[in-house]
Amino acid sequence: NAGVMQNPRHLVRRRGQEARLRCSPMKGHSHVYWYRQLPEEGLKFMVYLQKENIIDESGMPKERFSAEFPKEGPSILRIQQVVRGDSAAYFCASSPPLRPYNEQFFGPGTRLTVL
Amino acid sequence: KNEVEQSPQNLTAQEGEFITINCSYSVGISALHWLQQHPGGGIVSLFMLSSGKKKHGRLIATINIQEKHSSLHITASHPRDSAVYICAVLRDSNYQLIWGAGTKLIIKP
Tens digit of each residue's pLDDT (9 = 90 or more) over A67-115: 999 999 999 999 999 999 999 999 999 988 766 566 788 999 999 999 9
User: Does the CB of A96 have a partner CB in chain B at under 8 Å?
Assistant: no
pLDDT at A112: 97
Identify the residue with better confidence: A102 or B99.
B99
Chain A residues whose CB is inside 8 A of the B31 CB are 101, 103
A106 in contact with chain B, both atoms CB, cutoff 8 A = yes
Chain A touched by B50 (CB under 8 Å): no
Q: Which pLDDT value is given to residue A104?
A: 86
Task: Give chain A positions within 8 Å (CB) of B86.
Answer: 42-43
B101 touches chain A (CB under 8 A): yes
Q: What is the pLDDT of residue A98?
A: 62
- Residues B46-71, mean pLDDT to the nearest whole number: 95
List Cβ neighbours of B16 (8 Å cut-off, separation of 6 or more): B76, B77
